[in-house]
Structures are given as C-alpha cells and as structure tokens.
Structure 1
Amino acid sequence: MKSPYLEVTFRHGRPLAAYLYLPRASGERSDYVEQAGSGLLVDFTVDGKPIGVEMTAPGHVSLAELNQVLAALNASAVTEEDVAPLLAA
C-alpha cells in the first residue's frame, strides 16, 4: 500500500473506532503498539516502522491532534478530505 487510508467502524450511526493505515510493504505486520495520546495507538513493525494509527475514541480526536502524532512519526499529514468520514460522524 502506497498511500494512507482511513477505515471507520460505525455502530448505531456513530463512529466506534477508526484506523488510519499508513504506507507499508506487502506482508508487514504489527509487532507492538504504543500509546500516542488520548485514544490514539500506533502500530509498529518489528523494526520500528509505524504502519497505522488506531483511534479508540474517534469522536474525540481532532485533525490537529492526529497530524501532530503523524508529524512525530515522520509520516505525511492528513487533510480534512482524508478524514471526512470521521469528521462527518
């Protein structure tokens, strides 16, 4: 996968969880998880490459907070358009 994409899980019309997949090579898997803020968890490969950001309380995560975590990971920022399903819920 070459570009990030967002997956949102809804329950009763409200976002229950969300996951931002970061670019990764085929076969790369999560080896460990680190908390990156309130309701934000980052998955890393065995060699320390970030491959995704889980949002356990997506209704409480701001675009600015998410981009701050991405900047700390040296990952590309996301735009409002990238996370539109999350912001619309």
Structure 2
Amino acid sequence: MKSSYLEVTFRRGRPLAAYLYLPRISGDKSDYVVQMGSGLLVDYTTEGKPIGLEITAPAQVSIAELNNVLAALHVPTLTKEDIAPLLAA
C-alpha cells in the first residue's frame, strides 16, 4: 500500500473508532503499540516502522493533533477531506 487511508467504525451514526492505515509493504505486521497522545495509538513493526494509527476517541481528536503525531512519525499529514468521515456524524 503506497498511500494512507482511513477506516471508520460507526455505531448509531457516530464514529466509535477509526484506524489510519499508513504506507506499508505486504507482510508488514504490528509488533508493538505506543500511545501518542490522548486516544491515539501507533502500531509499529518489529523494525520500528509505523504502519497504523488507531484513533480510540474520534470525536475528541482534532486534525491538528493527528497531524502533530503524523509529522513526528515522518509520514504525510492529513487534510480536512482526508478525515471527512470522522466529521460526517
């Protein structure tokens, strides 16, 4: 996968959780998780490559917080359009 994409789980029309898949190669698997802010968990491979960002409280996370974490991980940041599903409910 060459680009990031967002997957959102809804319950009763509201976002319950979300996962931002980061660029990865086939076979990359999560080995450990690091909390990076309130409600943001980063999945890393055994080599220390970030492969995903779990958003456990989507209604409480701002695009600025997400982008701060992504910038710290040295991966592309998000636009408002990228997180539109989180803002839809």
Q: TM-score, structure 2 length as denominator?
A: 0.98
Query: In the alignment, which residue of structure 1 is the partner of 2:40?
Result: 40
**Counterpart Cα distance in 2 of 1:54 and 1:83:** 13
Q: Secondary structure at the match of 1:37?
A: coil
**Counterpart Cα distance in 2 of 1:40 and 1:17:** 10
Paired amino acid for 1:60: Q
Paired amino acid for 1:46: T
Query: In the alignment, which residue of structure 2 is the partner of 1:19?
Result: 19
Question: How many Å apart are 1:5 and its aligned residue?
Answer: 0.2
Gaps of 5+ in 1: none
**Counterpart Cα distance in 2 of 1:80 and 1:87:** 9
Question: How many Å apart are 1:11 and its aligned residue?
Answer: 0.5
Query: In the alignment, which residue of structure 1 is the partner of 2:61?
Result: 61
**Counterpart Cα distance in 1 of 2:55 and 2:37:** 10
Calculate percent identity across the aligned residue pairs. 74
**Counterpart Cα distance in 2 of 1:6 and 1:87:** 12
Please report the RMSD computed on the Cα atoms of aligned residues, expressed in angstroms.
0.5
- Per-residue CA deviation, residues 19-74 of structure 1 (Å, 9 max, x unaligned), is 00000000100000000000000000000000000000000010000000000000
Paired amino acid for 1:84: A
Gaps of 5+ in 2: none
